[in-house]
Amino acid sequence: MKKLNVLIALIVIAILSFSCKSDKKSEVKKQKTTEIASNEISITDAEMEKGAAIYFDRCAGCHGSSRKGATGPHLLPIAPEGNNYLGTTMLKAAGLKAFIENGTPGGMPEWKGIMTDDEIELMTRFLQVDPPIVPPYGMAEIKNSWKLIIPVADRPTKPQHKRNIDNYFGVIMRDAGKVAIIDGDTKEKLVVLKTGFAVHILRTSASGRYIYSVGRDGRITMIDTYTKTPTIVAEVKGGFDARSVEVSKFKGYEDKYLVFGGYSPSHIAILDAQTLEPLSVTPTAGNACDGDKEFIEEARVAAIVASHTDPVWICNVKETGMVWIVDYTDPRNPGMTQIPTARFLHDGGFDSTGHYFLVAANASNKIVVIDVPNKKLVKIIETGIKPHPGRGTNIKNKLGNLWVTSHLGENKISLIKTNPGDKQWTVVKEIKATGNGGGALFVKSHPKSKHLWVDRTLNPDAKLNSSVDVFDINTLELKKTLSAPEGVDGRAVHMEYNKAGNEVWVSYFMGKNSAIVIYDDKTLKVKKIIQEDWVENPTGKFNVYNTTHDIY
């Protein structure tokens, strides 16, 4: 039955592709089709609001906040190029249901079991009507949302405890809208903080004192680790939807400024890193990097990293394929250098020198290399189907210094040589994880480790998505596949090392018994399972020292 549903989904995709390439219909025909679609769909205001929330949470990252497409195709009733109405609403609903339930070979996960049957049915109707209009949100709205909870003058000047802040872990509990701070030495939960809907990442200040969270609701939360227990000291809402924040790390600018990358609206906002007071906003709408110079209004800011060699941030503008190098020496009037690369930019990190930035243009199946100090494109590298490195990871063996990426769309781990000499900026080795298919979200290693860890979070096979593969760095042979420990279930995601590089923390979420499992990196045995009542579907984990110093 599942094969039949997948076949239906693929037929729908084929029809969509054919329709988008067909001749444009007349305006009268398009208006008539819209009327037919609207008249045949029954959806209440309450259902529309609920559908928008589900779409925003589950779909907008790949298909765009306004459903115009990005990494994934557009999800509009009428294609931007013309009419793509599929015929009867029943056919459309059946195809959409199969598409949502089973995912696609290109990297879209199967949502059956993640979304309820009622939610999937609602989405088949929600996707057949026009999307809600996104209201404006700029400097005035950001300022109105700003809350300075504890002024700088009222904060402690040194830690009010004897704990090792460098080995704190910030743990995202995405669906609960919370972040937990754990003492990595003692494994104690210090506090669980409400930080906003669907937190995406955590970043630390250059000193390591502050932890900043940003969520899918655009809310930035600033957490002070000097207080007896970590405390929220400021908040601001930078937009309606976001994925990334970063701080200034260059010498002389430590802990001064913070940058926010907006998905909706699409803009770069710079804030005071001590208070979160907004200082400037720069829209990122603009022409695409490729030859047709298409103007893109929804040009969302994906990954952001801070240079240690220059007073700049590297901001990746997803839909345009433009890498922006943002000079923050004058934060109210920041300098912007735009480098055309490839669409659609997503996530990435530095090579081992910190001189070069590598980022996935995942819909283009490429990795882009940027020379940060010289502000120029070095190379665009073909890897595999939908590379998804997270920040990637750096390892070293007889092949040289290597930066590693995994892939959503296929079972391939690509190793790119980064040091000067023969074959620099080429894929010098490809290896495979256990089983078939892609679905890997993250790779991870550490300078003191002999292992490379790979998850398979979005693979449809439950046996694969609940395990992690560990490779020997020197031989690049699979050393062991680690299944979920007894009493733990769900999907394994996002490995993170402790400061010493001898432990690896793995999240298990979307199961009945979610947990954080801590492995000994040398023996690959379980050291501890954190599975208390406060643990609610943990996802990303960020060690303060490693995040501050870009160790990955």
Residue with tokens 């080795």: 429
From 74, 108, 222, 451, the catalytic residue: 108
From 62, 115, 123, 495, the catalytic residue: 62
Check if 108 is active-site: yes
The amino acid occupying position 203 is R
Q: Which residues are CB-neighbours of 87 under 8 A, at least 6 positions away?
A: none
Find, among 135, 118, 124, 38, the residue nearest to 78 by Cα.
38
Query: What's the CA gap between 428 and 221, in Å, rounded?
Result: 41
R_g of the chain computed on alpha carbons = 23
From 63, 267, 446, 494, the catalytic residue: 63
DSSP 10-52: HHHHHHHHHHHHSPPPPHHHHHHHHHHHHHH----HHHHHHHH
Find, among 80, 91, 74, the residue nearest to 37 by Cα.
91
Check if 494 is active-site: no
Check if 59 is active-site: yes
Q: What are phi and psi of 490, to 5 degrees?
A: 115, -170
From 200, 388, 407, 494, the catalytic residue: 388
Check if 267 is active-site: no
Sign of CA dihedral 287, 288, 291, 293: negative
DSSP 378-423: EEEEE-SSSB--TT-EEEEETTEEEEEE-BSSSS-EEEEE-SSSTT
With contact defined as beta carbons under 8 Å apart, do 416 and 428 qualify?
yes
From 74, 200, 267, 346, the catalytic residue: 346
Which residues does the annotation mark as catalytic?
59, 62-63, 108, 346, 388
